Amino acid sequence: MAPLLSAQGLQVRYGAVEAVRGVSFEIQQGEIVALLGANGAGKSSILKAIVGLVPTASGQVMFDGRDITGAAPEGLAPAGLTLSPEGRRVFGTLSVSDNLRMGAFGLTDKDEIAEAWERVYDLFPILKERKDQYAGTLSGGQQQMLAVGRALMSNPRLLLLDEPSLGLAPLVMDQIFELIAKLRDQGVTLLVVEQNVAKTLQVADRGYILVSGKIVEAGNTSELTQSSSMQDAYLGAN
């Protein structure tokens, strides 16, 4: 079966700094795949390159059989590929419902939009309760739920999550990881960048370990849990 997404020889540079160095990986429909590595390993740069937020110096990204290398970000959500960025980045002076509405930009089918509203409010009842509240007044956990909900409004086939548990209390963090597993059960494929390795490996199917912009190991979660490369990646080999 052809992968839902694949990257071949992906390279990202910021000036003279080579942040991503010839990375290749693939994701099959229905998987949760983790990108693991210390801060600065290139994980977020890979996500941004996939959705066109940073240019690729070389390499190719394919999504659902289509070459999307360098594609404009606004064209990818209607095609089924969405990023929930690090740091949440909700629109603080807009209401919860207006933030969610922004996520449905590009959708034209009213029934599809209505289903998206229903799905997000079913996953996050607190957002329905606070739909008229300014997003900037929500707690950190609620803002993370809103960021994920906004990404889900486009009904993505593949959702990229960048540090979804960053800065959250342990209880809220548990809720986010429960959500990740639930989304996979609902048919969403996920690529997750996350510093909480233990929690991520509990929900992911497979993963890739990055060190200094290169993939040093790939495998299923049980293999990565036992990997010496994992320890190296988080103890300064980056």
| Contact predicate 82/5, CB 8 Å | no
User: Which is the CATH superfamily of the domain at 5-87+156-234?
Assistant: P-loop containing nucleotide triphosphate hydrolases (3.40.50.300)
* Amino acid of residue 219: G
DSSP state, residue 190: E
Domain ranges of the chain: 5-87+156-234
Cα–Cα distance measured from residue 143 to residue 33, given in angstroms and rounded to the nearest whole number: 24
pLDDT at residue number 238: 39
- Residue-wise DSSP of 76-87: TTTTTEEEE-TT
pLDDT at residue number 19: 95
pTM value is 0.89
pLDDT at residue number 226: 83
DSSP 3-state percent helix, strand, coil across the chain (nearest 5): 35, 25, 35
CB atoms within 10 A of CB 175: 16
pLDDT at residue number 97: 93
For each of the chain's 238 residues, which pLDDT tens digit applies? 889 999 999 999 999 999 999 999 999 999 999 999 888 899 999 999 999 999 999 999 999 999 999 898 888 988 899 998 886 688 889 999 999 988 887 777 888 888 888 989 998 899 999 999 999 999 888 898 899 899 899 889 999 999 888 887 888 888 889 989 999 998 999 999 988 888 899 999 999 999 999 999 999 998 888 878 777 776 554 3
Cα–Cα distance measured from residue 136 to residue 227, given in angstroms and rounded to the nearest whole number: 41
Nearest Cα to 4, choosing from 205, 224, 191, 178?
Answer: 191
CA dihedral 104→106→110→111, nearest 10 degrees, is: -70
| Contact predicate 207/33, CB 8 Å | yes
Query: Over the Cα atoms of the chain, what is R_g?
Result: 17
